[in-house]
Amino acid sequence: MSKLPEHLTKGGPGDKFLGDGKVDTSKWFEDPGVDVGTLEKQIKNQDIFFCAAPFQLLYTNIQGDYAPCSWAETREFGTSIKDTSIKDWFESDPKLNQLRNEMLTPGSDLQLTKKSCKSCIKQEKQYGRSRRQASLKIQSNNDFLWPEMRKAVEAYKETMQGHIKHRIFEIQIKAFGNQCNLDCYMCHPFDSTTRIKTMDSNELKDQNIFNTGEKYNMGGWRSDEYKIKMADMKNKSMEDVIEQIKDVAPYIYNLKLIGGEPLVMKQYYKLLDAIVDSGYSKQMYVKFQTNMSVLGHGKYKITDYTKHFKIFELTVSLDGIGKTNNYIRRRSDWDEIVKNIKEIKKYPNVQINVNGAVSFLSVMRFYELIEWFDNYKELFVDKSSKLASKFGQINWSNIRGPAKLCANVLPEEIKKELIPKYANFPDIQNVLKEDNNGLDYKDTIRYLLNIDKYYKGTKWEMNLFDVFPELKKYYE
């Protein structure tokens, strides 16, 4: 397409990559309701490596460890919700305040930032777009959120500490667990109860994708250490965590629920009940990062909660359409996902977004998902009311690891054929142009075939070469 539609540019996929980690920021701070001052000019000119997350995001990983965001390195901070309250962490943690200072200082050596935020730094340098940049583009054109964000930055400069006193906060507390009903091939085993069972199976015991000499040695966490941490979190009262979140309800802009799979996690429904009880839910966005395979869990139905929130957003994790998505996100059912989207879209304040993970498998078909998204009016028309369903935006990220599941590991011939299909999206093209760094795609294929063996004879049985036949000749 010569001109990309809004749903493809809102989060930044259409921004021109300028090289050296920079993108065209001409569409940043474009909303007439957003003033442009010194801070905004520094961000727009890319004079500072600024990210809003350290000023607005309240995040823990599944083990309860705090970090500025889900992409940051938790080991650089070393503080847990088991020992420190959300408020104390955000306002007083010395490393978090150091990170804020580095991000506001032109010419900073970014000593901590380079360690904490190395994923976005790498994405920007090599592929031309990161989560940081995509978020900034959206936030900088929000005429409610950005002025409040500026106030939070000014408050930090006055005291050199964080402040929970502006309604800008996004909650991403993942300490409620990792229960998940799917088995996505690229998902970190510790983020899904189903993945752990698969990876502990006889078929996968010799795989070398998720371990480097020791079982599940990903990001420095061994499986036995992980189990200890998860056991510690079970001893932490989730009611206490819910109360802590409820206490900051007046300042929550966006309540983001992520898993595991949040729609099958009972604790998240209890959190929603507490937020509704706080009296502030009508001022909030609530966002589920979901595989959309179900609309509830036990007695809880997500449709019972939509009316209590200002905007009810579901960001659906998809990597392809039809059998492609069913294979990548094993145990999912494309037809059921589409059915659930249609059902939830009957509620007027519901918005559906799509988020994908560009990986070894998905990049071979991801352009089909983009085309499907463009044709949503054909698929999601409520004929009884004659209203067309409305999607918000489609976004994606190149996965960060494990290395052998990244798109650059594909055979060179396949990558060259794919590059023209992503002419409007330099971040995807750049990962396809990247060298495989000496990694063998046969290891990746072998890993996928072992997953096929694990599911043989079940209702989720599928075969890699039936879904991705172009890979077969490279393995043989």
- H helix or E strand, kind and range, residue 193: helix 193-199
Cα separation, 119 vs 248, whole angstroms:
29
Structure tokens belonging to residue 223? 């499986």
CA 53 from chain center: how many Å?
14
Cα separation, 409 vs 360, whole angstroms:
7
Structure tokens belonging to residue 64? 């309860």
Low-confidence residues in the chain, pLDDT < 50: 1, 213-222, 377-378, 380-389
The SS3 assignment for 107 reads coil
Helix runs in 202-354, H state only? 223-235, 238-247, 266-278, 323-328, 334-344
Q: pLDDT, tens digit, for every residue of 271-293?
A: 999 999 999 999 999 999 999 99
Structure tokens belonging to residue 442? 């046969």
Count how many residues are written for the chain.
476
DSSP code at position 65 = B
DSSP string, 274-306: HHHHHT-GGG-EEEEEE--S-SEETTEEGGGTG
Question: Residue 375: its pLDDT value, please?
Answer: 74
| Residue of 476, 360, 370, 358 lying closest to 414 (CA atoms) | 360
What residues contact 458, with CB distance under 8 A and at least 6 apart? none
What residues contact 64, with CB distance under 8 A and at least 6 apart? 80, 81, 82, 175, 229, 232, 233, 236
Question: Residue 319: its pLDDT value, please?
Answer: 96
Phi, psi of 11 (to 5 degrees): -95, 5
| Residue of 156, 150, 163, 230 lying closest to 190 (CA atoms) | 230
Cα separation, 31 vs 304, whole angstroms:
34
Helix runs in 329-375, H state only? 334-344, 366-374
What residues contact 26, with CB distance under 8 A and at least 6 apart? none
**Quick check: 87 and 97 in contact, CB under 8 A?**
no
Cα separation, 87 vs 79, whole angstroms:
13
Question: Residue 213: its pLDDT value, please?
Answer: 44
**Quick check: 406 and 399 in contact, CB under 8 A?**
yes
Q: pLDDT, tens digit, for every residue of 6-65?
A: 767 777 777 788 888 888 899 899 888 888 999 999 999 999 999 999 999 999 998 899
Cα separation, 162 vs 7, whole angstroms:
33
Q: Name the residue type at position 349.
A: N
Question: Residue 223: its pLDDT value, please?
Answer: 54
pTM: 0.89
Structure tokens belonging to residue 380? 């999601």
**Quick check: 69 and 59 in contact, CB under 8 A?**
yes
Cα separation, 227 vs 363, whole angstroms:
33
What residues contact 244, with CB distance under 8 A and at least 6 apart? 85, 86, 87
Where does residue 354 fall: left (phi above 0), alpha (psi -120 to 50 degrees), or beta otherwise? beta
Cα separation, 135 vs 77, whole angstroms:
22
- H helix or E strand, kind and range, residue 124: helix 118-126
Question: Residue 63: its pLDDT value, please?
Answer: 85
CA atoms within 13 A on the CB side of 45: 9
